[in-house]
Amino acid sequence: MKKLLNVLYITSPDAYLSLEGETIVIKKEESTSTRIPLLNLENIVCFNYMGISPALMGACSDQGIGVCFLSPNGHFLGRVSGKVKGNVLLRKKQYFTSENQTEAVAIASSFLIGKIINSRKVIDRFIRDHSLLIDTEILNKASNALKDILKDIKKCSTISDLMGFEGSAAKIYFGIFNQLILQQKEDFSFTERSRRPPLDKLNAMLSFLYTLLTFEVSSALETVGLDPYVGFLHQDRPGRPSLALDLMEELRPVFADRLALSLINRRQIIGKGFTVKENGSVIMDDDTRKIVITAWQERKKEEIIHPFLKERIPFGLIPYVQALLLARFLRGDLDAYPPFFWN
């Protein structure tokens, strides 16, 4: 099993990364603040303006360490990776399958089934744990509506039909999201999902966490030899990691949504940690972003029993395991792709 290696997050806008031997040197205002060995690093995520040296990018490329560049607000800018890995026959099978509607629908259905079941688990967990603080009738109604959509998805024969049901499920799920905010309701009131730009504090957190998850899933897909830019559910567009967006559907409720709600309900994040810009978009300040990243890293260390493998693994390895299972299915080693179901 692959080891859960470290991800280095550079959140200081004025930090510059360079290479000395096999060590990353992080400099701020002409002084060296930190030295980190390349060993055991899997990815580097940069929110800084200053960037990194060509020598360090070359070393990361040679050693298979991904480098991702995000704006200070968490908007994806680009990524650097090494040589393409994996068997060319696997990628050819991926491309062929993506053009075969019957096969593509079967895989895409699995992604959405995983997403909706995990979304219901989030709702049902709140009903179980916080019945005195929420309107259980509203949440039960939403959970049952999602259950009905699952039946419709299993009957779909086209990607457009699947996307239609996915949109309906998302509307139901996010329609009750405000019920799941148990603390700081005034600061984190939620009415609907807004993306570009996020128009409230919770949407800003979700967009940021989804960006982190997209990068993790893209790296996992490349590690097992799949092309993250050719998907089955999301249409292929230049620069769009369609397969990463596909695979992360089943992981969004568990990785991102639960974490965002937990940080709010435990008051680890407060309303003062956000800024509203002139165009109405909401962004996190540096301190809030660091809190979210720290919580993200800690969550990845938690261990679970994987429902398909029946093995105990760190939470952070789930994207890799799911990418590996998808690759095994495409190779013909599995009869179907088994989505991740949170217990």
Nearest to 141 by CA among 165, 170, 176: 176
First-to-last alpha carbon distance for the chain, in angstroms, is: 21
167 and 42 in a single domain? The answer is no
Give the rounded distance of the alpha carbon of 155 from its chain centre: 27
76 and 206 in a single domain? The answer is no
260 and 127 in a single domain? The answer is yes
pTM score of the predicted model: 0.84
How many domains are there within the chain? 2
Put residue 293 in one of left, alpha, beta given phi > 0 → left and psi -120 to 50 → alpha: alpha
19 and 151 in a single domain? The answer is no
Look at residue 19 and tell me whether its pLDDT is greater than 80: yes
Domain that holds residue 127: 88-331
Q: Which position has the higher pLDDT, 286 or 14?
A: 286
Residue 71 domain flag:
yes
Give the C-alpha separation, 5 to 323, whole Å. 17
Residue 294 domain flag:
yes
**Which residues neighbour 54 within 8 Å (Cβ) at sequence distance 6 or greater?**
none
61 and 164 in a single domain? The answer is no
Long-range contacts of 122-128 (CB under 8 A, 24+ apart): 122/180, 122/253, 122/254, 122/257, 122/258, 123/173, 123/176, 123/180, 126/179, 126/180
Q: Which pLDDT does position 238 carry in this prediction?
A: 82
Residue 65 domain flag:
yes
Residue 100 domain flag:
yes
CATH number for the domain harbouring residue 100 = 1.20.120.920
Helix (H) or strand (E) holding 91: helix 88-99
Look at residue 3 and tell me whether its pLDDT is greater than 70: no
Residue 121 domain flag:
yes
Give the C-alpha separation, 149 to 74, whole Å. 32
CATH number for the domain harbouring residue 27 = 3.100.10.20
Look at residue 296 and tell me whether its pLDDT is greater than 50: yes
Give the C-alpha separation, 206 to 214, whole Å. 12
Place of tokens 């995520």: 45
Split at pLDDT 50, 70, 90, the class of 1 is very low
69 and 180 in a single domain? The answer is no
End-of-domain residue from the set 60, 80, 100: 80
Average pLDDT over residues 311-322: 89
Residue 127 domain flag:
yes
Look at residue 206 and tell me whether its pLDDT is greater than 90: yes
Average pLDDT over residues 277-281: 85
161 and 260 in a single domain? The answer is yes
**Which residues neighbour 272 within 8 Å (Cβ) at sequence distance 6 or greater?**
none
51 and 183 in a single domain? The answer is no
Residue 337 domain flag:
no
3-state secondary structure of 155: coil
Residue 95 domain flag:
yes
121 and 159 in a single domain? The answer is yes
43 and 105 in a single domain? The answer is no
Q: Which pLDDT does position 243 carry in this prediction?
A: 96
End-of-domain residue from the set 25, 48, 80: 80
112 and 50 in a single domain? The answer is no
**Which residues neighbour 333 within 8 Å (Cβ) at sequence distance 6 or greater?**
none
End-of-domain residue from the set 64, 80, 96: 80
14 and 145 in a single domain? The answer is no
